[in-house]
């Protein structure tokens, strides 16, 4: 039996995640216990999948999520580090920041990298 080589290659007719033009970086800004929201507009008209990474301790170490979904937080959150919660809807990508779990950090700005994928 011969091997079908077309099944071993990338084929654009399959449902692969395709990168959109919405890949970039923004800041998550915490001003206290109340959540503070930052967003960008993508206007795709549906809830796309996305990836996100955050530099929680502002030390060049990026914590990323392992999967694409509409709501989740990257790894790396501990006491003394602000909480960052990314989410997405059919028109906007949001980054919500608030005080740390233990309440020891209120005000902080942390960089967040994001990427939004197209449905095929």
Ordered mean pLDDT values, 10 residues apiece, the chain (120 residues): 64 70 92 88 92 86 65 58 87 89 79 86
pLDDT at 16: 67
Q: Which of these, 77, 85, 86, lies nearest to 105 by C-alpha position? A: 77
What residues contact 7, with CB distance under 8 A and at least 6 apart?
none
CATH number for the segment(s) 25-118: 2.60.40
pLDDT at 5: 64
pLDDT at 69: 47
What residues contact 11, with CB distance under 8 A and at least 6 apart?
none
Taking the domains of the chain in order of start, what are their residue ranges?
Answer: 25-118
For 12, counting Cβ atoms within 10 Å of its Cβ (0-12 exposed, 13-18 middle, 19+ buried), the class is exposed
């Amino acid at each position: 039996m011969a091997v079908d080589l077309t099944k071993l290659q990338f084929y654009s007719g399959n449902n692969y995640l395709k990168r959109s033009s919405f890949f970039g970086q923004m800041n998550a800004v915490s001003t206290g216990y109340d959540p503070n929201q930052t967003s960008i507009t993508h206007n795709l008209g549906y809830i796309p999948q996305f990836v996100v990474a955050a530099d929680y301790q502002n030390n060049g170490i990026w914590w990323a999520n392992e999967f694409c979904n509409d709501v989740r937080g990257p790894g790396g959150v501990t006491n003394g580090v602000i909480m960052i919660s990314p989410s997405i809807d059919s028109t906007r990508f949001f980054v919500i920041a608030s005080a740390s779990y233990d309440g020891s950090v209120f005000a902080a700005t942390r960089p967040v990298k994001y990427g939004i994928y197209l449905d095929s």
